[in-house]
Amino acid sequence: MNELILVLDFGGQYKELIARTVRGLNVYSEIKPGSLSAEKIKKLSPKGIILTGGPDSVYRDNAPKCDAEIFRLGIPILGICYGMQLICYSLGGKVEPCVVSEYGRISINFDTDAELFWGIRKTSSALMSHTDQVIKLPKGFVGTAETPDCKYAAAENRTEKLYAVQFHPEVEHTDDGEQIIRNFLYNICGVSGDYRLDDYLNTQIKSIRSKVGNERVLLGLSGGVDSSVCAALLSKAIPNRLTCIFVDHGFMRQNEGDEIEKVFFGKKLHFIRVNAQDRFLDKLKGVTDPEKKRKIIGAEFAKVFEEEAAKLGDIKYLAQGTIYPDLIESGGELGALIKSHHNVGGLPSNLSFIGVIEPLSGLFKDEVRALGKKLGLPEKLVGRQPFPGPGLAVRIMGEITKHKLDILRQADRILCDEIKKLKNKPQQYFAVFTDVRSVGVKGDGRTYDYVIAIRAVNTRDFMTCDYAPLPHKLLARISSRIVNEVKEISRVVYDITSKPPATVEWE
CA distance 27 to 191: 8
Which among 3, 66, 81, 130 is annotated as catalytic?
Answer: 81
Quick check: 69 and 128 in contact, CB under 8 A? no
Any alpha helices (H) in 213-356, and if so which ranges?
Answer: 225-237, 256-264, 277-283, 290-310, 324-330
Residue of 265, 229, 221 whose CA lies nearest to 246: 221
Write down how long the chain is. 507
Give me the DSSP letters along 453-490: EEEEEE-SSSSSBEE----HHHHHHHHHHHHHHSTTEE
Q: Which residues of 275-286 are buried (b: 16+ CB within 10 A; e: fewer)?
A: ebbebbbebbee
For residue 93, what are the contacts with CB-CB under 8 A and spacing of at least 6?
87, 134, 136, 137, 138, 141
Burial of 366 (0-12, 13-18, 19+ CB in 10 A): exposed
Of 170, 300, 358, 367, the active-site residue reads: 170
Residue 323's Cα: distance from chain center in Å? 9
In order of 15, 259, 281, 399, 416, the CA distances from 403 in angstroms are 43, 22, 11, 11, 20
Closest listed residue to residue 482, CA positions, set 421, 419, 427? 419
Q: Which residues are CB-neighbours of 82 under 8 A, at least 6 positions away? A: 10, 11, 12, 51, 52, 53, 54, 55, 56, 58
Active site residue 170: yes
Which position among 3, 130, 168, 367 bears the catalytic label? 168
**What's the rounded Cα separation, in Å, for the pair 56 and 373?**
41
Per the annotation, the verdict on 403 as an active-site residue is: no
| Spatial distance between the Cα atoms of 450 and 488, rounded to a whole number of angstroms | 6
Q: Looking at this protein, which amino acid is placed at residue 79?
A: G
Burial of 104 (0-12, 13-18, 19+ CB in 10 A): exposed
Question: Are β-strands 28-33 and 4-9 bridged in parallel, bridged antiparallel, or unpaired?
Answer: parallel
The helix/strand/coil state of 183 is helix
Residue 188: name the closest of 48, 4, 6 by CA: 48
Q: Please confirm, yes or no, whether 81 is among the known catalytic residues.
A: yes
Q: Are 327 and 321 in contact (CB under 8 A)?
A: no
Catalytic residues: 81, 168, 170
